[in-house]
Amino acid sequence: MQHPTPTERARPHLVCPAGSLRALEAAVDAGADAVYLGLKDATNARNFAGLNFTDTQIREGVALAHRHGVQVLMALNTFADARRPGPWFAAADKAAELGADALIVADTAVMGHCRDRLPGLRLHLSVQASATSHAAIEHYRQRYGVQRAVLPRVVAAEQIARIIAGTSVEIEVFAFGSLCVMVEGRCALSSYATGQSPNNAGVCSPASAVRWQERGGGVSARLNGVLIDHYGPEEPRGYPTLCKGRFDVAGQRSHVLEEPTSLNTLELLPRLVQMGVRAFKIEGRQRSAAYVGEVTRAWRAALDRACAAVEDGRPFTPDPAWQQALSRHAEGAQTTLGAFERPWR
């Protein structure tokens, strides 16, 4: 199949995380085309203490981003509580009022509200909606007017090509950041321990359920009483989630479910650009402004070079300096192509 070059369509966007105003500024300075952010409540899937934006900060962030031609996408990507969906509808109204360029949404009730009350606001289908086929994505376009869909990280590269061929909805994929072994939006693992759903509480490990206890010269991490890891005195401590905990099985202690590692799709970049992927997402609203700045800078350079290579028909080789910069921020200091390439099928 002969694909159009990036210049025959709009070049893909680089979409970067903003967990704070400082991170937003870092993303803009480093060359992001769009930033995504959330409110300080359970309407977004990074509802961590100390993160996210007040109304005043969003106004300031939107003004700064728009002065530099950068879009602001608001993540409203948890599922509304059926007993009181009002906060999710109010958050959508607020996003429009504060000048967001698009909403990242997962809940059909919220999409319906936006379709009926906010028809001028772009809707991007969140990865939390778990849409893995063009038929599913077309359903959201036809019923709610969704204009972009973020694919789950379990979709392989060849499947991405088939999805793009089957829908007019723009496709966004994860380019770099933490991985999850579950299909986003369908995980109930932490609910077993906490009794709260990450899909509407906005976080896998609610702060109220996390306990750090000094023990045996180290520190133990527990989630609602469940021991999920023990760190030595000098050992780096990760965000305590059940899926990335270390457990004793048959006398051996290891990451039984998932090792900490980061997705890095630099090697696949020209192939994904050629397929027609319209946006590349950097994961990490919970990460520092320094992370956002350095990762965005590396990906800005990589995406520009990959687009130029595709346009000119030249080979693309990732710069070792980009890989070095990204490796410094990779979980567990290791990266993978994840499910994008699946030799085991």
Could you state, in order of their start, the residue ranges of all structural domains in the chain? 13-179+261-340, 204-255
CA distances from 200 to 46, 76, 93, 170, 204 (A): 11, 11, 19, 26, 10
Quick one: pLDDT band at residue 343, thresholds 50, 70, 90? Answer: low
Confidence check: pLDDT of 8 > 70: no
194/183 Cα distance (integer angstroms) = 19
Tens-digit pLDDT profile for residues 269-309: 999 999 999 999 999 888 899 999 999 999 999 999 999 99
Query: Which residues, other chains included, contact 66 with Cβ-Cβ below 8 Å and sequence gap of 6+?
Result: 72, 99
Residue 328 reports pLDDT greater than 70: yes
Q: How far apart are CA 284 and CA 296, in angstroms?
A: 11
pLDDT score for 1: 46
Q: What whole-number distance in Å separates Cα of residue 264 and Cα of residue 282?
A: 10
Annotated binding site: 180, 187, 204, 243
In this prediction, residue 204 has a pLDDT band, given cuts at 50, 70 and 90, of confident
Q: What's the pLDDT at 344? A: 55
Q: Give pLDDT tens digits for 43-53.
A: 988 877 788 99
CATH 3.20.20.70 assigned to domain 13-179+261-340? The reply is yes
C-alpha span between 219 and 240 (Å, rounded): 12
pLDDT band (50, 70, 90) for residue 202: low
Tokens representing residue 12 in the block: 């893909």
pLDDT of 260 over the 80 cut: no
pLDDT > 90: what percent of the chain?
56
User: pLDDT tier at 93 (50, 70, 90 boundaries)?
Assistant: very high
d(CA 104, CA 71): 13
Q: What is the pLDDT of residues 158-169, one digit of tens each?
A: 999 999 999 999
Give the whole-number percent of the chain exceeding pLDDT 70.
93
Residue 13 pLDDT class (50, 70, 90 cuts): very high
Judge whether 204 and 196 are in contact, CB under 8 Å: no
Global pTM value: 0.87
pLDDT tens digits, one per residue of 16-43: 999 999 999 999 999 999 999 999 988 9
Output the pLDDT for position 172.
98
Does the structure show a pLDDT above 50 at 92?
yes
- By DSSP bridging, strand 247-249 and strand 226-231 are unpaired
The mean per-residue pLDDT over the stretch 100-126 comes to 97
For residue 136, which of 183, 75, 179, 83 has the smallest C-alpha distance? 183
Q: Which residues are annotated as a binding site for [4Fe-4S] cluster?
A: 180, 187, 204, 243
What is the H or E stretch that residue 178 is in? strand 170-178
Structure tokens at 183: 């299909």
Average pLDDT, stretch 212-240? 85
> Do residues 308 and 270 touch, judged by C-beta distance below 8 A?
no
Confidence of residue 94 (pLDDT cuts 50, 70, 90): very high
Higher pLDDT: 64 or 191? It is 64
Please provide the average confidence, as pLDDT, over all residues in the chain. 89
Task: Please provide the distance, in angstroms rounded to a whole number, between the alpha carbons at the two ends of the chain.
Answer: 24
Query: How far is CA 138 from its chain centroid?
Result: 21
